Amino acid sequence: MEQKSWLKFYGDIPHTIDYPDGSLYALLKESIDNHPHAIAYDFLGKTATYQELGDQIDEYAKKFHNMGFHATDTFSIIMPTSPQGIVAFYAINKLGGVASFVHPLSTEDELKHYLNLSKSRFALTLDMFYDKVANIKKEIPLEKLVVTRISEYMPAAKKTAYNLITLSKRVKIDSRWAVWLKALGKSGETPVTVAEGNKDDLAVILYSGGTTGSPKGVMLTNGNIVSEGMMVAVWGKLDETDTLLAILPIFHGFGLSVCVNAALLAGGKTVLIPKFTVKEVAGLVKKKRPTFLIGVPTLFKALLDEKDFRNTDLSFLKMSFSGADTLPRTLKETFDETVRKNGGKSVLLEGYGLTEAVTAIMALPAHEYREGSIGLPFPNMDVKIVEPGSFRELPHGEIGEIIINGPAVMKGYLNNPEETATALKVHNDGKTWLYTGDLGYRDKDGFFYFKQRLKRMIKSSGMNVYPSEVENTVCRHEDVKFACVIGLEDERQMTRIKAFVELHKPSLASPEKEKEIIDFVRKRLIKWSCPREIEFMEKLPLTKIGKVDFRKLEEIEHGKSIGN
């Protein structure tokens, strides 16, 4: 990298910061001590101060300890974004244990995989998911399942209404194996000893497809989680005056580390949202006046389609960040114009990250927008572009694999040394570099640009086709809401490009509209990158965190070919 000339683009953001050597809980305790009366979290209108959060963590830690949970044990959190989920997370860390986050909508087979892989002796889940876990109890290592209700931390009126509505759906738990959180043994007066965790201790397991697509447990240490929270706080200049909406779920690195942990480490407030509905989030933006809005592109698009959001005063927004998927230019421009129209100065900035580095590791600085760029690395993070799979660094402008070094890089994949060796490589500089499986390039000023997942890149007529580039171009057409591109076998081109398109007005779908969009793309992209056909869909399939699910579309298309 052209040395240090790019530092000028950081402005007043430090390029390096000092990270503590202790546990995540030890750092959170500083926020609790420094801001005891400030609001730490808001859940459906019920708030908790930092002192109350600290008391809740202490209470959970005592309960878990009395239940038999000890340092180095693994505790699965099978929860939506909720007070119980985040309090349990910090209590587990206080005891020196490992928190394994699992999507509560996982199938029974997925739950078996996650619980067996992590060897979880304990788990926490909602009553509505109890049966799924109970059905597999003979096939998993769980010794005790802790059950709670989502209503437990609701304001009194909402709690009463919810409990009445769900009265007929109450579950009966097997008390020999499961226990209600509320009824879990009395904590007593004896304080629980805080584990003397250090930065290298395993703290969290999150799940990711990694570089080969199969679900893997990403092992993250105290140092990984602490550095990520501090990086985000420094980059966004977060402090006790800030409010973040935790729209993204806690079982995803983005939601856990940015929307919750970074806010709490900075002394700010996080508004916990257990289930996303665009109307509710639009209402929360208006009512809670968050200074930061963080999400995926589909979330921002949904907000722009909501009248209440389009007509809301947005002067309070300091920053808006999109991650986890490519941000179409038209979406950014529409969002920025909506913010300006409603009194705000914030612009929608793109960032980049992956679970193997907790989540976000770079983003555009607020003062330096560059179209298509994913920005500059966060403090203490180094990024290089190399020839895929090799150690050879490429000059600026050349597309290669994005590799990462720094304090947020994972410890490895749980019980998977082969995949760990593929992803983590020690270079001649003695540093361990994470091979992301993503293609991108760096410009002469040090700004990075994402092109495509290495595995998702398509070869058409022998040329590289980057689906995200094609999707962005299709989305520039005024009638297109979302697009997703896949490659299909073709006798002449080996692979031809097909686009799936969701229109703003589904009634416009027609052969004429297909031709119009294809012609639109042909004027803007080289011919082998242009879709040969378009299939209109009323709704494109989404993954569990709201990204367009290209793998599902590939499966659908594969099923059609078998049927023929």
- Left (φ > 0), alpha (ψ -120 to 50) or beta: where does 49 sit? beta
- Measured in degrees and rounded to the nearest 5, phi and psi for residue 435 equal -90, 110
Question: Which residue in this structure is represented by tokens 């998993």?
Answer: 140
| pLDDT reported for residue 209 | 57
Residue 200, CA distances (Å) to 21, 30, 223, 332 in order: 8, 20, 6, 39
Nearest-angstrom CA–CA distance, 472 and 257: 28
d(CA 295, CA 399): 27
What size, in residues, is the chain? 564
CB burial of 509-543 (b: ≥16 within 10 Å; e: otherwise) equals: beeebbeebbebbeeebeebbbbeebebbeebeee
CA-based nearest residue to 188, from 294, 88, 70, 62 = 62
What distances in angstroms separate CA 331 from CA 259, 509, 521, one per listed residue? 22, 21, 17
Q: Which residues pair with 533 in a beta bridge?
A: 498
Tens digits of pLDDT across the chain (564 residues): 444 566 778 788 888 889 999 999 999 999 999 999 999 999 999 999 999 999 999 999 999 999 999 999 999 999 999 999 999 999 999 999 999 999 898 888 889 999 999 999 999 999 999 999 999 999 999 999 999 999 999 999 999 998 888 887 888 999 889 999 998 876 666 678 888 889 999 999 999 854 444 579 999 999 999 999 999 999 989 999 999 999 989 998 889 999 999 999 999 999 999 988 899 999 999 999 999 999 888 889 889 989 999 999 999 999 899 887 778 788 889 999 999 999 998 889 999 999 999 989 999 988 888 888 999 999 999 999 999 989 999 999 999 999 999 999 999 999 999 999 999 999 998 999 999 999 999 999 999 999 877 777 776 765 667 788 888 889 999 999 989 998 887 766 567 899 999 999 999 999 999 999 999 998 888 777 889 999 999 999 987 667 788 888 988 887 665 554
Closest of 354, 356, 355 to residue 420, by C-alpha:
356
Summarize pLDDT for 39-51 with one digit per residue, the tens.
999 999 999 999 9
Residue 221: closest CA among 170, 250, 268, 257: 257
What is the structure's pLDDT at 526?
75
Task: Choose among 372, 351, 252, 333: nearest CA to 292.
Answer: 351
